[in-house]
């Protein structure tokens, strides 16, 4: 399977803990995007990265959220000191270029107790 791989598929955290979500893009894709989806809603853009660089983080909350896409390894979306409102499905997408179609992974469903 050469698709976008996200793990874990489900993640449960208690308030105040840290959540780390991982995304391995499709082979040959160097552009990665993170989106958040609440129940019954569309996806909301969070951040766009291209190997080691953050290109657009206009959708990222100013505090507690960070993202990286290192030279080697998967992209990581990190949420520190999680709160109940962080509960959502987080999707990663990748593309060959910024104007090329984005292909999505199956998401990580984050639940905060």
Partner 1 sequence: GQQLNQSPQSMFIQEGEDVSMNCTSSSIFNTWLWYKQDPGEGPVLLIALYKAGELTSNGRLTAQFGITRKDSFLNISASIPSDVGIYFCAGRSGNTGKLIFGQGTTLQVKP
* Binding stretches for partner 1 (CB under 8 A): 4, 6, 31, 33, 35, 41-45, 48, 55-56, 58-59, 91, 93, 95, 98-99, 101-107
Q: Give min distance, CB of 40 to partner 1, in A.
A: 8
Q: Which is nearer to partner 1, 48 or 65 (CB)?
A: 48
C-alpha angle with apex 7: 45 to 111, nearest 5 degrees?
A: 70
Q: Give min distance, CB of 97 to partner 1, in A.
A: 8
Distance CA 59, CA 34 (A): 9
Q: Give min distance, CB of 89 to partner 1, in A.
A: 9
Q: Which is nearer to partner 1, 48 or 86 (CB)?
A: 48
Q: Which is nearer to partner 1, 86 or 94 (CB)?
A: 94
Distance CA 79, CA 86 (A): 8
Q: Give min distance, CB of 113 to partner 1, in A.
A: 21
């Amino acid at each position: 399977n050469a698709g976008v791989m996200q793990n874990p598929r489900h993640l449960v955290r208690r308030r105040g803990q840290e959540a780390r979500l991982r995304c391995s893009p499709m082979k040959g894709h160097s552009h990665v995007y993170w989106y958040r989806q609440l129940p019954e809603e569309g996806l909301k853009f969070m951040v766009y990265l291209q190997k080691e660089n953050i290109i657009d983080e206009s959708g990222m909350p100013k505090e507690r959220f960070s993202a990286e896409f290192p030279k080697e390894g998967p992209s990581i979306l990190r949420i520190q000191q999680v709160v109940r409102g962080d509960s959502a499905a987080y999707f990663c997408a990748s593309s060959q270029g910024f104007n090329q179609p984005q292909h999505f992974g199956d998401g990580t469903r984050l639940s905060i107790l």
